[in-house]
Structure 1
Amino acid sequence: MRLRYMELRNYRKFREAKVEFPDGVVAIVGQNGTGKTTLLEAVSWALYGNESSVVRNGKEGVITTGASLGDTCSVSLEFELGGDGYHLVRSMRGKEMRVDASLEVNGELVAKGDRAVTEAVTTRLGMDHRAFFISVFAKQKDLNALANIKPAERKKLVLRMLGVDFLNDVVTSVDRDARSAKNQAEQLQLLLKDQQGRDKEKLLREDISAHQAELEKIKVKEVAMTGEKLQAAALVSESRALWENEEGRYRLDVALERRLTGLRVGLGSRREHLARLQREIDELRKLSSSLPGLELQEKEYQKVRAETERMNLLREGHLRKQRLEEDIGNARKERDDLETEKEQTAQGLSRLPDVEGRLSTVETSLEETIDTTTTIASQKRLAESERDRLQRSLSESAQRTAEIEVLGEESNCPTCLRRMGGQYADLLRRYTEEQGSISNNLVELGRTIEELEGQRSKNEQRKKVLEDRRKDLLEQSRKVASLKERERKILQSLEIIAERTDVLEKELTAMGVVEYDQTAHDHARRKMIDLEPIHLAFGKAQTILERLPLAETEHRDTSSILIEEEGQLSVVSQERNDLNFDALVLQERKTRYEEVRDKEEKLAQEMVRVDGEKRRLISVMEGLNKRSEELDEIKTRHQALMTDLEMLNRLGQVMRDFKENVISRVIPTLSNVSSDLLSQLTEGKYGGIRLDEEYQMYLYDQGQEHPLERFSGGETDLANLCLRLAISRMIMERSGSQMNFMVLDEIFGSQDQSRKRNILETLGQLQKQFRQILLITHIDDVKDNVSAVLKVTEKEDGSSAVALED
Structure 2
Amino acid sequence: MIPLQLTLKNFLSYREATLDFRGLHTACICGANGAGKSSLLEAITWVIWGKTRTATEDDVIHAGVNHVRVDFDFICHQQTYRIIRSRSRGKSSALEFQVVTESGRFRSITAKGMKATQEEITTALKLDYDTFINSAYLRQGRADEFMLRRPSDRKQILADLLKLDRYEQLAVQSKDLAKEYKGQAEQLRQSIVLLEEQLAQEKFTQQELISLETQINQLQQLQEQNSTRLQDLQVIEHQRQAWEQQITVQETQYQNLLQDCDRLSKDLNFLQIQLQQLEQLIAQEPEIVQQYNQLLSWQEQEKDFLAKFATYQQVQKQLTQLEQQLNQQNNELNLQIRQVETRLEAVEQQEQEIEQVLARSSEVEAGLEQLNLHRQRLVELDRIQQYVAPLLQQKNNLQLEIEKTETKLNVKLEQIQQASEQLAEQIAKVPQMRQAVLTIDAQIDELDKKKVYQKRVREKGEERRDFQTTLQANQRVYERQFQELQQKLDLLGIPEAVCPLCERELDEHHRSHVIDKTQKQQKEIQEQIWVIREQLAACERELQLLRKEYKQLDHELTTYDSLQLQIGQLEAQLEATGEIHKQLKNIKAEQEELENLLGTGNYAQELQLDLTQLNNEIKNFNYDEQTHALVRGEVERWRWAEIKQVKIEDAKKRQANLESQKPQLLEQIQSLQQEIKQLHTTSEIQQQIEQVQQTIAQLGYDQTQHQNLLTQLRQAQTWYVRYQELTQAKQQYPQLQIRLQELQQLLELRLQDKTVSQTQIDNYITQREQINDYRQEIKTLEQQIHQRRQQLDELIIQTGRLQQTLVQIKELKNQYTTNCQQLKEIDKNYRIYQELGQAFGKNGIQALMIENILPQLEAETNHILARLTGNQFHVQFLTQKAGKSSSKKTTKLIDTLDILIADARGTRPYETYSGGEAFRINFSIRLALAKLLAQRAGTSLQLLIVDEGFGTQDSEGCERLVAAINAIASDFACILTVTHMPQFKEAFQTRIEVYKSDRGSLLRLSN
Q: Counterpart of 1:192 in 2: which secondary structure?
A: helix
Q: Counterpart of 1:135 in 2: which secondary structure?
A: coil
* C-alpha distance 537-681 of structure 1, shift in aligned 2 (>3 A): closer
Asked whether the 8 Å contact 1:291–1:541 carries over to 2, the reply is yes
Asked whether the 8 Å contact 1:247–1:586 carries over to 2, the reply is no
* C-alpha distance 101-676 of structure 1, shift in aligned 2 (>3 A): farther
Aligned equivalent of 2:741: 556
**Distance in 2, Cα, partners of 1:293 & 1:762:** 159
Asked whether the 8 Å contact 1:243–1:590 carries over to 2, the reply is yes
Asked whether the 8 Å contact 1:253–1:581 carries over to 2, the reply is no
The within-5 A match list for 1:427-438 is none
Asked whether the 8 Å contact 2:28–2:988 carries over to 1, the reply is no
Asked whether the 8 Å contact 2:97–2:117 carries over to 1, the reply is no
Aligned equivalent of 1:778: 981
* C-alpha distance 300-603 of structure 1, shift in aligned 2 (>3 A): same
Amino acid across the alignment from 1:226:
Q
Structure 1 residue 580: deviation in Å?
A: 4.1
Amino acid across the alignment from 1:608:
D
Structure 1 residue 557: deviation in Å?
A: 0.9
* C-alpha distance 180-745 of structure 1, shift in aligned 2 (>3 A): same
Of the candidates 973, 990, 997, which is equivalent to residue 787 of structure 1? 990
**Distance in 2, Cα, partners of 1:531 & 1:183:** 114
Aligned equivalent of 2:922: 720
Identify unmatched segments of 5+ residues in structure 1. 92-98, 195-199, 331-515
Q: 1:587-617: per-residue Cα shift (whole Å, max 9, x none)?
A: 9533333333333233223223322322332
Structure 1 residue 776: deviation in Å?
A: 2.8
Amino acid across the alignment from 2:764:
L
Q: Counterpart of 2:744 in 1: which secondary structure?
A: helix
Amino acid across the alignment from 1:670:
L
Of the candidates 105, 128, 135, which is equivalent to residue 96 of structure 2? 105
**Distance in 2, Cα, partners of 1:654 & 1:267:** 115
Of the candidates 752, 755, 758, which is equivalent to residue 570 of structure 1? 755
Which piece of structure 1 moves more, 124-133 or 773-782?
124-133
Aligned equivalent of 2:857: 670
The within-5 A match list for 1:145-156 is 145-156=145-156
* C-alpha distance 326-785 of structure 1, shift in aligned 2 (>3 A): farther
The within-5 A match list for 1:178-327 is 178=178, 180-181=180-181, 184-185=184-185, 187-193=187-193, 200-201=195-196, 203-250=197-244, 252-253=246-247, 263=257, 267=261, 270-271=264-265, 273-274=267-268, 277-278=271-272, 280-281=274-275, 284-285=278-279, 287-288=281-282, 291=285
**Distance in 2, Cα, partners of 1:532 & 1:657:** 129
Amino acid across the alignment from 2:228:
A
Amino acid across the alignment from 1:778:
M
**Distance in 1, Cα, partners of 2:49 & 2:866:** 37
Structure 1 residue 226: deviation in Å?
A: 1.8
Aligned equivalent of 1:590: 775
Asked if residue 79 in structure 1 is aligned to residue 43 in structure 2, the reply is no
Aligned equivalent of 1:804: 1004
Which piece of structure 1 moves more, 239-248 or 723-732?
239-248
* C-alpha distance 302-626 of structure 1, shift in aligned 2 (>3 A): farther
Q: 1:690-725: per-residue Cα shift (whole Å, max 9, x none)?
A: 6666776778989x9967869886555334323322
**Distance in 1, Cα, partners of 2:133 & 2:247:** 115
Asked whether the 8 Å contact 1:673–1:726 carries over to 2, the reply is yes
Asked if residue 543 in structure 1 is aligned to residue 728 in structure 2, the reply is yes
* C-alpha distance 314-714 of structure 1, shift in aligned 2 (>3 A): same
Asked whether the 8 Å contact 2:151–2:898 carries over to 1, the reply is yes
The within-5 A match list for 1:303-452 is none
Amino acid across the alignment from 2:85:
H
Asked whether the 8 Å contact 2:35–2:994 carries over to 1, the reply is no
Asked whether the 8 Å contact 1:102–1:111 carries over to 2, the reply is no
**Distance in 1, Cα, partners of 2:985 & 2:902:** 29
The within-5 A match list for 1:492-641 is 532-580=717-765, 589-641=774-826
Amino acid across the alignment from 1:210:
F
The within-5 A match list for 1:697-716 is 714=916
Asked whether the 8 Å contact 2:288–2:723 carries over to 1, the reply is yes
* C-alpha distance 267-18 of structure 1, shift in aligned 2 (>3 A): closer
* C-alpha distance 110-102 of structure 1, shift in aligned 2 (>3 A): farther
Asked whether the 8 Å contact 1:185–1:641 carries over to 2, the reply is yes
**Distance in 2, Cα, partners of 1:772 & 1:317:** 134
Q: Identity of paired residues, percent?
A: 15
The within-5 A match list for 1:632-781 is 632-645=817-830, 663=850, 665-678=852-865, 680-681=867-868, 714=916, 717-736=919-938, 741-749=943-951, 751=953, 753=955, 756-757=958-959, 759-760=961-962, 762-763=964-965, 766=969, 769=972, 771=974, 773-781=976-984
Q: Counterpart of 1:748 in 2: which secondary structure?
A: coil
Aligned equivalent of 1:438: none
* C-alpha distance 549-663 of structure 1, shift in aligned 2 (>3 A): same
**Distance in 1, Cα, partners of 2:311 & 2:935:** 129
Q: Counterpart of 2:201 in 1: which secondary structure?
A: helix
* C-alpha distance 592-644 of structure 1, shift in aligned 2 (>3 A): closer
* C-alpha distance 191-281 of structure 1, shift in aligned 2 (>3 A): closer
Q: 1:84-124: per-residue Cα shift (whole Å, max 9, x none)?
A: 32325597xxxxxxx976243259999999x9999999899
**Distance in 1, Cα, partners of 2:817 & 2:772:** 67
Structure 1 residue 59: deviation in Å?
A: 8.5
Asked whether the 8 Å contact 1:305–1:528 carries over to 2, the reply is yes
Amino acid across the alignment from 1:773:
L
**Distance in 2, Cα, partners of 1:690 & 1:625:** 71
**Distance in 2, Cα, partners of 1:277 & 1:190:** 100
Amino acid across the alignment from 1:105:
E
Q: 1:46-73: per-residue Cα shift (whole Å, max 9, x none)?
A: 988999xx47xx889x999xx9xx9899
**Distance in 2, Cα, partners of 1:692 & 1:270:** 134
**Distance in 2, Cα, partners of 1:657 & 1:272:** 120
**Distance in 2, Cα, partners of 1:717 & 1:685:** 16
Asked whether the 8 Å contact 2:299–2:713 carries over to 1, the reply is yes
**Distance in 2, Cα, partners of 1:179 & 1:296:** 126
**Distance in 1, Cα, partners of 2:27 & 2:302:** 135
Aligned equivalent of 2:488: none
Asked whether the 8 Å contact 1:260–1:572 carries over to 2, the reply is yes
Amino acid across the alignment from 1:79:
F
**Distance in 2, Cα, partners of 1:181 & 1:739:** 45
* TM-score, normalised with respect to structure 1: 0.57
Amino acid across the alignment from 2:211:
K
Identify unmatched segments of 5+ residues in structure 2. 99-107, 325-698, 881-896
Which piece of structure 1 moves more, 593-602 or 119-128?
119-128
Quote the RMSD (CA, aligned, Å): 5.7
Asked whether the 8 Å contact 1:28–1:774 carries over to 2, the reply is yes
Structure 1 residue 621: deviation in Å?
A: 3.1
Q: 1:148-201: per-residue Cα shift (whole Å, max 9, x none)?
A: 54545434433432445644554665466456545543553443236xxxxx44
Amino acid across the alignment from 1:4:
L
Q: 1:186-217: per-residue Cα shift (whole Å, max 9, x none)?
A: 553443236xxxxx44x544422331332233
